[in-house]
Amino acid sequence: MDQQEIFTRFSPDRTNLLAILHALQDNHPQNYLTEESLRAAASYSGVNLSWVYGVAGYYSMFSLEPRGRYIIRVCNSPVCNMMGSAGLIEALGSVLGIGAGETTPDGLFTLEEAECLGICDVAPAMMVNRRVYGNLTRKSLESVLKEFRMMQNERK
């Protein structure tokens, strides 16, 4: 989908800026906001570019740097931490061969630590792009990674 197709889904209004930025980022294979997309979003929404940069920089969901196709965001806030999220982050890092904030060499996964995802009742929890996973164990992490690898193979 090109940028113009994305913009047609939203009215040209500053109140749609967050939704537009999410859509632009989701549409990029490297899951980030390019300078070109920020400029286009500013122009379409009728706000200045520095304001758009401010918004994109404020929210941790947005990235101005290339990332993997799938962003694994493991909650490490207190409830999830008490339920073992630090160990899960370590296990994921070990399986993927990367640390938090890094991307696998094949460009498939980026591992990030996140603040509370708002689903503490199923701690420990994580999101992979927009999908939510709870009650995680090391075993279920392997299933999730397998699911996304299979999805990637189907895209080829």
Residues that bind ligand FES in the complex, under the rule CB under 6 A: 75, 77-80, 116-117, 119-120, 123, 125
Beta strands in the chain (DSSP E): 70-75, 109-114, 126-128, 131-133
Please identify, using beta-carbon distances, which residue of 47 and 116 lies nearer to ligand FES. Answer: 116
Please identify, using beta-carbon distances, which residue of 95 and 120 lies nearer to ligand FES. Answer: 120
Q: Give the tokens for residue 33.
A: 């906001």
Least distance between ligand FES and beta carbon 112 (Å):
13
Least distance between ligand FES and beta carbon 43 (Å):
36
Residue carrying the six token digits 């279920």: 140
Measured CA to CA, the distance from residue 128 to residue 117 in angstroms comes to: 12
Least distance between ligand FES and beta carbon 30 (Å):
26
Please identify, using beta-carbon distances, which residue of 66 and 134 lies nearer to ligand FES. Answer: 134
Contacts of 42 (CB under 8 A, 6+ apart): 48, 49, 51, 52
Least distance between ligand FES and beta carbon 87 (Å):
14
Taking each helix axis as running N to C, give the angle between helix 138-155 and helix 85-96, from 0 to 180 degrees, rounded to the nearest 10.
40
Please identify, using beta-carbon distances, which residue of 18 and 79 lies nearer to ligand FES. Answer: 79
